[in-house]
Structure 1
């Protein structure tokens, strides 16, 4: 069972994707906060201390890696999981360089996201 103190912050510009992720993560007992894009997350004044970020890679305002870089520049080191429709070697390399915990390709397989979230929240 996931840590009840931990929060998963989902950042995705697609409302249907946000809703589906929220449902799936809450079924697994996680506390979920939704953000409709990078600027909404960056505007958040009180991000939880115990949290994991689930970030879509392709968004109109800025891509997911730029969002992670912006957070790191603000000294926000929450573990980040990136979700993308196309993961190639270059994107994997750039994500690793940014400190992304997991890079997952859509469609997500059963349990894949939950396993990455648990690992990220455990500091692994």
Structure 2
């Protein structure tokens, strides 16, 4: 475990409890301060999201999708880096996510080293 204090805040939006918890623990152990949410409504009502520098959002969420999350955050003036995760990858989805402002689209099951490599850039 990394004993360094968290230096960067990550927003995780994932409706699967086990995946969300796993990402939260992984990122925390790597020194990130993590704010996790199970759906669009909860993340958009979060008061602490404006200070986050990174977004990791699932594409399919119970009340919307990851593109809607990033679009709403951008309208609020959020300027962090965003990464989408999905178990339903298609070329059209990847094009839509990248044109919306996502830096990368990662496929589930998520490879932790791939996510950490992207976040470390």
Question: What is the TM-score of this pair, normalised by structure 2?
Answer: 0.87
Q: 1:80–1:59: structure 2 CA closer, same or farther, 3 Å change rule?
A: same
Aligned counterpart, 2:38: 36
- In the alignment, the residues of structure 2 paired with residue 110 and residue 40 of structure 1 have an alpha-carbon distance, to the nearest angstrom, of 25
Distance apart, 1:45 and its partner CA: 2.1
Question: What is the TM-score of this pair, normalised by structure 1?
Answer: 0.86
| SS of structure 2 residue aligned to 1:55 | strand
- In the alignment, the residues of structure 1 paired with residue 80 and residue 41 of structure 2 have an alpha-carbon distance, to the nearest angstrom, of 17
Report the number of matched residues: 119
- In the alignment, the residues of structure 1 paired with residue 45 and residue 112 of structure 2 have an alpha-carbon distance, to the nearest angstrom, of 32
Distance apart, 1:4 and its partner CA: 3.1
- Equivalent position to 1:71, from 62, 73, 78: 73
- In the alignment, the residues of structure 1 paired with residue 81 and residue 112 of structure 2 have an alpha-carbon distance, to the nearest angstrom, of 21
Asked if the contact 1:56–1:64 (Cα under 8 Å) also holds between the matched residues in 2, the reply is: yes
Distance apart, 1:3 and its partner CA: 8.4
Structure 1: 5+ residue stretches without partners:
120-124
Distance apart, 1:110 and its partner CA: 4.0
Structure 1's consecutive aligned runs of 4 or more residues displaced over 6 angstroms after TM superposition are none
Asked if the contact 1:83–1:103 (Cα under 8 Å) also holds between the matched residues in 2, the reply is: yes
Distance apart, 1:118 and its partner CA: 1.8
Instruction: Give RMSD over aligned pairs.
Output: 1.9
Distance apart, 1:65 and its partner CA: 0.6
